[in-house]
A and B are shown apart, each in its own frame.
Chain A
Amino acid sequence: MILKIVGLSLLLAIMAFLLRSFGFKGAGVFAAIAVIAVFSAVSGELATLSSLVGASTLFSGEASRYAGTIIKLVGSGYLFGICSDVCRELGEVGIANGVTVAGRVELFALTAPYLGKILELGEELLG
């Protein structure tokens, strides 16, 4: 799998370089598609990582739920970050910023139950 990803990345990079060299105007779009293609190749590995963490002996019982949420948070952070970078690469700064804001909202939605729990516990302890 590692060799496949490295080979694909190098191939796409060479193709993008050649397209730029021949003055192809859609080289940016090609680069964006290339990033998505490489990321799709590792998405299977990410799912394996997530299930590995979930099944890890480090997180037993209730703790695996927290681990799952953290993996989702970090994964979402990476996904939105890559998406935002791709948009920025294509010169679409406005869309890139929009993606970042959407990422923040998504991250907040994932964390909201825990933030609510923190406030609830704090209120319970202080009350």
Chain B
Amino acid sequence: MKWAVTVFVIFAVFCFPIVASADAPEDFISDFSSLIPEGTLDGVGDGEALAEAVGFERILSEIYGILAENGGRLAAFFSLLIGLALLCALAGTLDGGLAHTVRSAVLAVSAVAIFESISDLVGVAVEALSETSSFFGGLIPIMTAVTASGGGVSAASVSAAGMSLTLGIVGGLTDGILGSLVSAMFALGLISELGGGSCAGLFKSAKGIYTFAVGLLTFLLGATLSLQTVIATATDGMMIRGAKYTVSGLVPIVGGTVSGALSTLASGLAYAKSFIGVGGVAIIVTIALAPTVLMLAYRVALSLAVDFLGYLDTGGGVKCFSSMLGALDCLIATYALSTVVYIFEIILFIKSGVGIL
């Protein structure tokens, strides 16, 4: 009898806070709704609306909207590139003693013209990543509370520590390194035009180093967090289920009632978890979509211009445009990888499940 009382007490300690906060799922969703940045998931109040909001059609329509909004700017940039390519080819027709000087001068002017058109992309990317970091920072307490309310006390502490670490590292990389790194790439690209060289190889290396560092970090964080979360969730689930089963058997009426209440609560928490997780990913994707689409569109334009210059057989122009393309590639890769780390963390939260279920 003594051990039965002990089990009951453990069960009560574990489950009372859970049952006492029976209206928690709605509260969590409400907390999450207050966190949604303006213009991202407007008017999404329930699962059905959220499912519609994350649909393929909506993403396509968002992409179309972004392209339509920036169509004029993109067309102007593409026209500028084609015009500069033609003028570079015109400069290439010159021969004699001044040919090299004219070509270098034309490339220097072209580099400034291209850079002035794409320089604001660095700011846009850094700003979007800061917005994502800030949103993710606000999401951590909600995700931790949902996990803890589902009986996953150990899982909650593990994931909270992991998410805070991720936020710190990625936020630090974004604020301290990303902007400076990409700016340095653009600066080197511009300055290399003075010497008539190309920094494409250097950009490739820098991009490789940054993506390798963030990729390794993601792998290590992902692997350790996944393992820790799996173990912690299993431990929490085992303790709660064991206690639930024992109490249901030992205390027939009360045990059954509490067990039923827990199941109802677990369903609510599973819904809240999915809603918050999917909503979180959708918001991060929405924040990241505009800069990503814009950067990719600029990249396509630059890439086409490089091909066009290759067709015109303008070696110097190819080098100049490739330098800018390399810097832009570096920006896209680092930006995308930093965003993916946050999405990965939220997916881990969704997949960790509810302890009491």
Q: Which residues of A contact B (CB under 8 A)?
A: 53, 56-63, 66-67, 69-71, 73-74, 76-78, 80-81, 84-85, 100, 103-104, 107-108, 110-111, 114-115, 117-119, 121-123, 125-126
Contacts and interface: CB of A to CB of B under 8 A. Distances in A.
B187 A73 contact: no
B9 interface: no
B109 A100 contact: no
A111 B105 contact: yes
B116 interface: yes
Contacts of B186: 121, 125
Interface of B: 76, 79-80, 82-84, 86-87, 90-91, 94-99, 101-102, 105-106, 108-113, 115-117, 119, 183-184, 186-188, 190-191, 193-194
Given A80-B98, A100-B98, A115-B108, A66 B187 contact: no
A39 B99 CA distance: 19
Contacts of A125: 183-184, 186-187
A117 B96 contact: no
B105 A81 contact: no
A100 B83 contact: no
Nearest to B95: A81
The majority secondary structure among interface residues of chain A is helix
- Please list the 6 inter-chain residue pairs (A to B) with the smallest Cβ-Cβ separation, ordered nearest first: A58-B83, A77-B102, A125-B183, A125-B187, A122-B187, A66-B113
9 contacts: A61-B76, A74-B94, A77-B101, A78-B94, A100-B97, A114-B108, A115-B194, A126-B184, A126-B187
Contacts of B76: 60-61, 63
Contact of A122 (B80, B99, B110, B190): B190
Contacts of A70: 84, 87, 91, 106, 109-110
Contact of B110 (A66, A76, A103, A119): A66
A81 B80 contact: no
Contact of A121 (B80, B86, B117, B190): B190
A66 B91 contact: no
Given A118-B193, A126-B184, A107 B109 contact: no
Contacts of B112: 66, 114, 117-118, 121
B337 to A, nearest CB: 21
A59 B190 contact: no
B82 A58 contact: yes
Contacts of B110: 66, 70
Contacts of B119: 121
A47 B95 CA distance: 21
Contact of B187 (A56, A100, A104, A121): A121
B113 to A, nearest CB: 4
Given A59-B83, A73-B91, A114 B115 contact: no
